[in-house]
Amino acid sequence: MKSDVKNLLLNTKGRDRVEWAYRDMPVLQEVNSVLSRNKPLKNINLAACLHITTETANLLITLKNAGAKVACCASNPLSTQDDVAAHLVKDHGITTFAIKGINDRGYYKHIVNSLAIKPNMTMDDGCDLVTLLHKTRRKYLKEIIGGTEETTTGVIRLQSMSKNQVLKYPIIAVNNAFTKHLFDNRYGTGQSVLDGIMRATNRLLAGKTFVVCGYGWCGKGLAMRANGLGANVIVTEIDSTKALEAKMDGFQVMTGSEAFKKGDFICSVTGNINVIDKHHFKTLKDGVIISNAGHFNVEINIKALKKMSSKKRKLRTDIEEFTVGKKKVNLLSDGRLVNLSAAEGHPSSVMDMSFSNQALCSEYIVKNHKKLKNEVYDVPLSIDNKVARIKLKSMNVKIDKLTSEQTKYLNSWESGT
Ligand code: NAI
């Protein structure tokens, strides 16, 4: 099957950027060198649906070096870096279907195209590829031994498939690895979402009111970093414990209806639908900047916003201004993940850990698939610990080891005061 990318001549720019990212991916470098030698993915056809970024390219090259035949497609219509897609095709012979700004029809067609590789394994980010396989391309299911899933929203969808007994092969939830969500979701999203908002708007955050919807792993990182830039942060939640955590972390916590009236910036990162909804739009501050960092573009009710507005115009590359009554509402990147649409996604250093988990889990599936059921599995702790160990080593950080006395103490129940 022939690749579909924007312009193959962009490959040299992509090559240099991919190399730059690789320099800050020491764990993946080590994983790559071992997998290249051992070739555990020999005879494996792998279909990957991921954000086509420089870090993803390094993962896909690693999987190819490990022996896999790889086809990939984008996991979001706006997150593709066209130069990276060109580099994958031209310099690595990886079949790629990804063009930034493609419409929904083209996006799904690309996923279907990537399945023509007849996968033995899938690697998904958001579960669109797995869903499509189970709904309309079931003929490919019989050759698949397992898969992996990158993000929270994808894991939620897979858990629902597993609960309803429709999932047809085992999937490892890479998102659930400690070395993934503690760093990628928290520090990665915290930094890159603000990077996206700043590149899109070039506005100062200091002294502004920044509303974060959702205080999960991503929301915590975003609130922490917005606070660090001098914004007054308000958190909205639906979970009492998370709301309490936000309050004790020093943030104001209130309902969406209250918070949205105050926000100069509002960013939703919940994985939920219509968090900023129809009834909120009229109450927003004039000039408010709203964005989404959750996986799908469903967190802001854009349909309602479009219906309610008397005028809309593109103000800057990633800003669309809507006139609602007398107020201006600025929507970033069509409500798609702002860090990947308006910036470059997470820094390589965190993707290093997420994608090393991905590569090592692929190897684990080849070795263990016969023992696995058609369920969603956590990343084995041995893989998680290995990733943390290599990362610490690369940072030249040494930690203590338990003494035998301490090991004995921790395993005993007899000794008290
Ligand atoms: P999480 O499950 O840790 O946190 C989500 C939080 O949102 C929870 O605390 C939940 O109670 C809260 N929430 C749900 N509905 C809400 C509502 N109506 N109003 C306010 N709060 C609400 O999930 P995590 O890991 O933080 O991920 C959030 C989303 O971000 C997911 O869609 C995930 O796939 C996506 N994601 C995006 C990344 C990016 O690069 N932009 C990176 C990693 C994850």
Q: What is the pLDDT of residues 86-109, one digit of tens each?
A: 999 999 999 999 999 999 999 999
What is the residue with the minimal CA distance to atom 1 of ligand 1?
Answer: 216
Q: How close is the Cα of 220 to the center of ligand 1, in Å?
A: 10
333: amino acid identity, one letter: S
The binding-site residues of ligand 1, defined as CB within 6 angstroms of any ligand atom, are 151-153, 181, 185, 189, 213-219, 236-239, 242, 269-272, 275, 293-295, 337, 339, 346
Residue to mutate (ligand 1; options 79, 295, 339; most atoms within 8 A of CB): 295
248: amino acid identity, one letter: M
Task: Look at residue 1 and tell me whether its pLDDT is greater than 90.
Answer: no
Edge-to-edge order in the sheet of strand 319-324: 252-253, 232-236, 209-213, 265-268, 288-292, 327-332, 319-324, 311-316
Q: How close is the Cα of 270 to the center of ligand 1, in Å?
A: 3
Per-residue model confidence (pLDDT) at position 315: 96
Residues in contact with 237: Cβ distance below 8 Å, sequence separation at least 6, in sequence order:
214, 215, 243, 246, 253
Residue-wise pLDDT for 208-263, tens only, equals 999 999 999 999 999 999 999 999 999 999 999 999 999 999 999 999 999 999 99
Q: How close is the Cα of 260 to the center of ligand 1, in Å?
A: 18
Residue to mutate (ligand 1; options 55, 127, 151, 301; most atoms within 8 A of CB): 151
Residue to mutate (ligand 1; options 153, 182, 218; most atoms within 8 A of CB): 218
Work out the burial of residue 412: count CB atoms within 10 Å of its CB; fewer than 13 is exposed, 13-18 middle, 19 or more buried.
exposed
Of 223, 195, 170, the residue nearest 372 (C-alpha): 170
* pLDDT classification of 417: cutoffs 50, 70, 90: confident
Of 130, 132, 114, 123, the residue nearest 150 (C-alpha): 123
Task: Look at residue 415 and tell me whether its pLDDT is greater than 90.
Answer: no
Average pLDDT over residues 118-128: 98
What is the DSSP track for 86-111?
Answer: HHHHHHH--EEEE-TT--HHHHHHHH
Average pLDDT over residues 365-370: 98
Three-class SS of residue 150? coil
CB burial of 101-134 (b: ≥16 within 10 Å; e: otherwise) equals ebeeeebbebbebbbebebbbbbbbbbbbbbbbb
Per-residue model confidence (pLDDT) at position 362: 98
Alpha helical stretches, state H, 285-347: 302-308, 338-341
Of 314, 343, 355, the residue nearest 123 (C-alpha): 355
* pLDDT classification of 48: cutoffs 50, 70, 90: very high
| Adjacent-strand bridge partners of 232 | 209
Work out the burial of residue 218: count CB atoms within 10 Å of its CB; fewer than 13 is exposed, 13-18 middle, 19 or more buried.
buried
Give the pair of three-digit tokens for residue 149: 């899933």
Planar angle of CA 11, 6, 23, nearest 5 degrees: 35
Of 72, 99, 115, 86, the residue nearest 16 (C-alpha): 86
* Residue 47, φ and ψ in degrees, nearest 5: -105, 120
Residue to mutate (ligand 1; options 185, 275, 279; most atoms within 8 A of CB): 185
Average pLDDT over residues 280-306: 97
Task: Look at residue 297 and tell me whether its pLDDT is greater than 90.
Answer: yes
The residue count of the chain comes to 417
Average pLDDT over residues 10-38: 98
Task: Look at residue 323 and tell me whether its pLDDT is greater than 90.
Answer: yes
Residue-wise pLDDT for 148-201, tens only, equals 999 999 999 999 999 999 999 999 999 999 999 999 999 999 999 999 999 999
Q: 65 and 57 in contact (C-beta within 8 Å)?
A: no
* pLDDT classification of 310: cutoffs 50, 70, 90: very high
Task: Look at residue 313 and tell me whether its pLDDT is greater than 90.
Answer: yes
What percentage of the chain exceeds 70 in pLDDT? 100
Task: Look at residue 309 and tell me whether its pLDDT is greater than 90.
Answer: yes
The CA distance from 321 to 343, in Å, is 19
Q: How close is the Cα of 293 to the center of ligand 1, in Å?
A: 8
Q: 137 and 119 in contact (C-beta within 8 Å)?
A: no
Q: How close is the Cα of 36 to the center of ligand 1, in Å?
A: 35
